[in-house]
Structure 1
Amino acid sequence: MEANSLIQKPKKQKLNEEQGIDGNRKCFGNLPDVLLRHILSFLPIKDAVKTSVLSKRWEFLWTSNPNLDFGEHLAGKRMLLMNFVERVLYLRDSSDIKEFVLDFDVQFDASRVQSWITAAVRRNVQILNIRIRDLRGQFSLPRCVFTCETLTSLELAMPCIFKIPPIICFSNLKVLSIENVTFSDDYTTQQLLSGLPVLEVLYLEKCRWGCRKVLSISSPKLHSLTIIEADMHQPSDCQFMIFGAALKYFVYSGELFNEYCLYDSFSIESADFDVTCYGEWASDERARQVAYRGFKLLIAIPNVKDLRLYGNAYEVLAYAPELLPKMPIFNNLWYLKLGALNLECESLLKILQNSPCLETLKFLKIDPISDREKVDIILDPPPSCFSSHLTRIKFCCYDGKDLNAVKILLKKAIALDEIVISFEESVEKNLEMQENLYKQLITLPKGSQNCEITLK
């Protein structure tokens, strides 16, 4: 059904409001209007509008729907979407809007999109999610967005320069997500990132920071921070000063072209670091810079309980071996997940040695051991957690080509209760290969007689 006909279609179907469903129950149409409106609030707006054809009573029930989501349901039909948005906003009553979502190819219609956002703000919107694409020209958010005191969540994905007005008042904003924008160099960027009194969640993805050299992120209630760097052809080399006295969850993904300094971060319990390296490092100097910046992140989270290291997050530390003796003791770390297990990497061995209470070790793949003559001396002596706390090891996407790492872990982890192995797709489809691998695995010497091998 075309969007611009959703509101105008003749009433071909009537709702029977007198006859019960089974003779004993009241029919759906006998419910009070307030309950019907509540039910409609759970429907996509295009479906809620369609109910206007059911009967005279239903004609305008949808007009107070608090959730307006415009986007994917009319993908590829841009003009229909535009007409539908404008008619919904025009016919909607004056009640408050709870959630306004716009996922839209703007092209040359920036002014129309701005008017829709303004209409949502005037109706005291609480959740605003704007994702614009295919922008041809300039676009900026209406100034009224930055002084909307009812906003609790603001999500923006805009391939444009982010213009922030001098006056910002987000007194109730708890969630802020900004993606694919270029920040200006003026002080308003700093005001946005450190002037939100109740902000709890901050998500920054593929943002560009211009020529700024120092930027601080600070909010007294911030408990979750995610930073995903863009693939930068012109790195900004900005220093971020992050003050996180209430921070519990921190995620970083990128090439560490910027430096991140965490202060008052002893409350962080969960951290994800994905340090990517596209090809070889440009130089040893660049590799050492990344190593120092990665190390700075690790020493800032000594109380972490759940740590995930992907890409080159721990391997890059090998470019600055003088840092390894300064690795912190992770006394609270019980869960460690790795993108790849490299038992020949000194930095990983140091992390394991400094995690005395580690209970679960999980990894997505195994890096083969290059020097097979050293198999017997790897993890010798084993980390203390191997004899006291490490009870579970999980292999993911195992291809069965190298059993040496499995052999070492089975032999050294004497407190192990279970080792769980899931196969990559090629092995998963070959039952004969799985059976052969299992026969090899159960013959390997085990340090723990209670250890069970589980194949998934």
Structure 2
Amino acid sequence: MLSLCCKVGDDTSLVNEWLHAFINPKIQELSLDFDNVEEPLVFPDHLFTCATLTWFRLSMNRIFDLPSSIHFQSLRKLILMHVILPDGSSTQRLFSSCPSLEDLALMDCDWENVTTDVCISSPMLQTLTITEWDEDWGRNGLKRRKVVIIGNNLKSISLGGDVSNDYFLLNSTSVTDASIELQAPDVWWTDDWKIDTGYFIFRLLREIPKVEKLSFSDNVLEAISFTLPLLQRLPLLCNLAELHVMGATVPVDLSCEGLMTILQKSYCLRELHFELGGVSLSKKKEDYILDTLPVCFKKHLKIITICGCSGSKGELNAIRVLLQAASVLETLSISCFSPEFPDFDTPEGSKSLSKMFGKILCFPRGSVDCDIKFDFI
């Protein structure tokens, strides 16, 4: 394995010499991490036709110049980070030249030079991870390039960032794990972004009907709420057993219509996890979930976890409603972060924590078998 990490600056010629000297035709694993690349780097031609290369990671803030001949016969994992992708035909050639690819990660790559539609297809592809940020999002009238992903054996997909491309999944009913953590830059957090994202989520969920584990950011739930009539036409997520909801700086609103819609479509949901920011519910909406109780709360929901509880009135109200609504719940796990309780190791801080825990333990429970666990980290 060769691993090379350096700040290039004005030493491009020296780094090019290293690349040609150290990358031999029989290399198996290659990790290249270049910072401050001022001039194009030149990779040896034999790298792109290496029959033994199985793992390739490249991080650099320059165009990845590709030769006319590419054939990564044995490449199973490809990670591109901060790379500026070349023109559409070269990018397509790269994605089409990895017949053994199982794991593909495109992390914060620049697609600006790709002006044509692109297809990512590999018969062996199982895991796809894409994060992207486009500072010019929305300035071109929401015109996006189309990226078609064909994955007969695709099992896991993760999308993060602002979804500056328009992704389509074909033959992807094998996907069982999906993570959608989207966030538009503040300047573009508009109704247009919400509508566009809501339509994207609707289409994505239709393309992965057998998903078993699903992770959403709170922004996605807000976008879903913005296009609620569309999401109500979504088929049932009959295989969905585990739902993760990730808040940002504030707790997820338990009464969020997007969240309620997903829960209503998830008849067999067994686990519900509120991560990072936790969950909250306004005192004015304390009966909201009880009016439209999802079926999973009555028959299948066994585990609820809440991470980042600070003991606010809204959080305690959400916990109270969840405990009362989940009639077959077996475990409620609540984690508190020490930054939320700076004086936790003092008598007053310890008393405050004990008081909060005592309130929760006294809440009425829909399930007589529910066990409440507390954790402090």
What is the TM-score of this pair, normalised by structure 2? Answer: 0.90
What CA deviation, in whole Å up to 9, does each residue of 1:170-221 have, x standing for no partner?
1111111111111121412101112211110100011112241411100000
Change (3 A) 1:115 1:311: farther
SS of 2:324's equivalent in the other structure is: helix
Query: Match for 2:223 among 305, 316, 328?
Result: 316
Is 1:368–2:271 an aligned residue pair? no
Partners of 1:278 and 1:157 lie apart in 2 by 23
Using CA pairs below 8 Å that are at least 6 residues apart, which structure has the higher relative contact order?
A: 2
**1:257 alignment partner in structure 2:** 164
**1:404 alignment partner in structure 2:** 317
The amino acid that maps onto 2:125 is: L
What CA deviation, in whole Å up to 9, does each residue of 1:113-139 have, x standing for no partner?
223222333251100110011223222
CA contact (8 A) 1:276 1:311 kept: no
Partners of 1:224 and 1:211 lie apart in 2 by 23
SS of 1:421's equivalent in the other structure is: strand
**2:265 alignment partner in structure 1:** 354
**1:62 alignment partner in structure 2:** none
| Bigger shift: residues 248-257 or 321-330 | 321-330
SS of 2:341's equivalent in the other structure is: helix
The amino acid that maps onto 1:351 is: I
Partners of 1:300 and 1:244 lie apart in 2 by 11
Is 1:147–2:49 an aligned residue pair? yes
**2:329 alignment partner in structure 1:** 416
CA contact (8 A) 1:194 1:218 kept: yes
SS of 2:57's equivalent in the other structure is: strand
Partners of 1:282 and 1:350 lie apart in 2 by 22
Change (3 A) 1:205 1:311: farther
The amino acid that maps onto 2:23 is: V
Partners of 1:238 and 1:311 lie apart in 2 by 26
Displacement after TM superposition at 1:141 (Å): 2.2
The amino acid that maps onto 1:253 is: G
Partners of 1:453 and 1:135 lie apart in 2 by 53
What CA deviation, in whole Å up to 9, does each residue of 1:37-85 have, x standing for no partner?
xxxxxxxxxxxxxxxxxxxxxxxxxxxxxxxxxxxxxxxxxxxxxxxxx
SS of 2:67's equivalent in the other structure is: coil
**2:132 alignment partner in structure 1:** 229
* Structure number with bigger Rg: 1
CA contact (8 A) 2:92 2:118 kept: yes
Partners of 1:212 and 1:329 lie apart in 2 by 36
Partners of 1:328 and 1:155 lie apart in 2 by 38
The amino acid that maps onto 2:291 is: D
Change (3 A) 1:333 1:282: closer
Change (3 A) 1:386 1:234: closer
Output aligned runs, 1:290-301, within 5 Å: 290-301=197-208
Displacement after TM superposition at 1:234 (Å): 5.3
What CA deviation, in whole Å up to 9, does each residue of 1:344-367 have, x standing for no partner?
211211111111111111112345
CA contact (8 A) 1:327 1:351 kept: no
Output aligned runs, 1:165-204, within 5 Å: 165-204=67-106
**1:217 alignment partner in structure 2:** 120
SS of 1:296's equivalent in the other structure is: helix
| Bigger shift: residues 360-369 or 306-315 | 360-369
Partners of 1:166 and 1:318 lie apart in 2 by 46
Displacement after TM superposition at 1:165 (Å): 0.6
Partners of 1:127 and 1:354 lie apart in 2 by 44
**2:60 alignment partner in structure 1:** 158
**2:363 alignment partner in structure 1:** 444
The percent identity for this pair of structures is 33
Change (3 A) 1:367 1:279: farther
Please, which runs of 5 or more residues in structure 2 have no aligned partner? Answer: none
Partners of 2:88 and 2:208 lie apart in 1 by 31
Displacement after TM superposition at 1:147 (Å): 1.3
CA contact (8 A) 2:323 2:364 kept: yes
Query: Match for 2:305 among 371, 389, 394?
Result: 394
The amino acid that maps onto 1:443 is: C
Please, which runs of 5 or more residues in structure 1 have no aligned partner? Answer: 1-98
CA contact (8 A) 1:118 1:145 kept: no
Displacement after TM superposition at 1:379 (Å): 3.7
CA contact (8 A) 1:281 1:287 kept: no
SS of 1:439's equivalent in the other structure is: helix
The amino acid that maps onto 2:110 is: R
The amino acid that maps onto 1:206 is: D
**2:353 alignment partner in structure 1:** 434
Displacement after TM superposition at 1:389 (Å): 1.3
Partners of 1:229 and 1:191 lie apart in 2 by 21
The amino acid that maps onto 1:300 is: E
What is the TM-score of this pair, normalised by structure 1? Answer: 0.75
Partners of 1:233 and 1:225 lie apart in 2 by 24
Is 1:383–2:297 an aligned residue pair? no
CA contact (8 A) 2:304 2:331 kept: yes
Partners of 1:310 and 1:398 lie apart in 2 by 17
